[in-house]
Amino acid sequence: MTILLTGAAGFIGSHLTEQLLAVGHQVIGLDNFDDQYDPYRKYDNIHAFAEHPRFELIKGDIRDQALVSDLLKRHACDTVVHLAARTGVRTSVTEPARCLDVNVNGTLSLLEAMRVTNVGRLVMASSSSVYGNSNNVPFREDDSANQPLSPYAMSKRSGELLAYTYHHLYGFDIACLRFFTVYGPRQRPEMAISRFTEQLINEQPITLFGDGTTARNYTYIHDTVMGILRAIYCLSGYNLLNVGGPTSVTLHELVQLIERAVGHKATIDWQPAQPGDVVLTCADLSLAAERIGYRPTVSIDEGINRFVRWYKQDLAKNETHI
C-alpha cells in the first residue's frame, strides 16, 4: 500500500510513519514544518527513518492542491491519511482565521486533489472537541456535535462534514477518527503533559486553569496509532469513530500522576478557566471496537510513566550534544 500522509513529521504522524514502514507500506510524507512550535523538533521526530527506502518527505502545504494532486499521481497513492492541521483550542481562539484556513480550506484542497486523481480512500484526524460540553456521557458518535466551543472544534467538525459530502457524491471510503487528547513521546511542547513534566523536572510552578476538576480522556500514542492502522485496514463507507483511552481523569489526578513519575511535588499557580476549554471529555469506544476492533491497552498510569522516562532520556540526550 502506498500512503500519502499529511502532517508526517508531527507528533502522531511520525509515530504512524514508523509503524507503517515497519509493516511494509510505502509512505509519502507531506509536512509544511510551520512555526506553531520549533520546526527542528519535527526534523528530530523523523530523524530515525528519514533515509528509509520506502519513505519520502516533501516539504509543502495541503492547501497547494496542485502539489497534492501531483504527489498522488506520481507515486500512485491508493490511500490518504490526513493528520495535518493547525492544532490547539487556545491557539485557535487567538488566531481563528489561520486555524480555519488551514483546517477547512486545507481539507477541502486535499479532498479535491483526491477527486481529480481518483483516489478514494481517506482516514482523517478529527477531535473530541467537536462534542463541546455535551450532556451525554460518555460521548457517542451519534451525539449532536453542533455547538463547538472554539474555532478549532468548529474546523474539525467542518472537516467531517466535508468528508461526508465527498463520500456521498463521489463514493469515497472515509473514516473520521475523533482523537481524545493524545500523549506520549514527542508530544507537542505546549500540551499539558509535556508542559507539566518540564516544569516539574525544573522545579517550576505549574499553571492550572479552572479549579482542577475538569477531566480529559487521555490516549497513549501507541493506542492512537493502532486505531489509525485498524481504520486503514477496515476502510469502507463513511464512519465517525472515537479513538480514546481507557478512562478519563481530572486535572488534579493528572498532576498527581506526573508528580509521582517525576519525583517532585508541584507548586500550583491557579488561573481562571480559559475560553474554549470544555469541562469533560469521555469516549464511548463501543462503536470503534465493533467497526475496526479498536481497544486501548495503555492505562494512564503506565502511559505517564513511559512518557516521563522518555522525557528524561531525551533531556539527557540533548544535554550530551550541547
Average pLDDT over the chain, rounded to an integer: 93
pLDDT of residue 114: 98
Does pLDDT of 225 surpass 70? yes
Mean pLDDT calculated for residue range 58-72: 97
C-alpha neighbours within 13 Å on the C-beta side of residue 3: 29
pLDDT of residue 318: 64
Q: How far apart are CA 81 and CA 300, in angstroms?
A: 26
Determine contact, residues 123/231, Cβ cutoff 8 Å.
Answer: yes
Asked if CATH classification 3.40.50.720 holds for the domain at 2-320, the reply, yes or no, is yes
φ/ψ of 94, rounded to 5, equals -90, -25
Does pLDDT of 253 surpass 80? yes
Q: How far apart are CA 174 and CA 121, in angstroms?
A: 6
Position 270 confidence tier, pLDDT thresholds 50, 70, 90: confident
Instruction: List 59's β-bridge partners, or say none.
Output: 31
- Ordered by start, the domain boundaries in the chain are 2-320
Position 320 confidence tier, pLDDT thresholds 50, 70, 90: low
pLDDT of residue 277: 75
Handedness of CA 288, 294, 299, 302 (dihedral sign): negative
Tell me the three state secondary structure of residue 31. strand
**The cell 463513511 sits on which residue?**
238
The active-site residue, picked from 152, 183, 220, 311, is 152
pLDDT of residue 271: 83
C-alpha neighbours within 13 Å on the C-beta side of residue 272: 3
Determine contact, residues 148/113, Cβ cutoff 8 Å.
Answer: no
φ/ψ of 253, rounded to 5, equals -65, -40
Active-site residue flag, 152: yes
* pLDDT tens, position by position, 97-134: 999 999 999 999 999 999 999 999 999 999 999 998 88
Where is pLDDT greater, at 90 or 204? 204
pLDDT of residue 316: 66
* pLDDT tens, position by position, 151-198: 999 999 999 999 999 999 999 999 999 999 999 999 998 888 999 999
User: To the nearest whole percent, how much of the chain has pLDDT over 70?
Assistant: 98
Q: How far apart are CA 54 and CA 238, in angstroms?
A: 29
Position 322 confidence tier, pLDDT thresholds 50, 70, 90: very low
Closest of 73, 276, 36 to residue 155, by C-alpha: 276
Instruction: List 3's β-bridge partners, or say none.
Output: 27, 79
User: To the nearest whole percent, how much of the chain has pLDDT over 90?
Assistant: 77
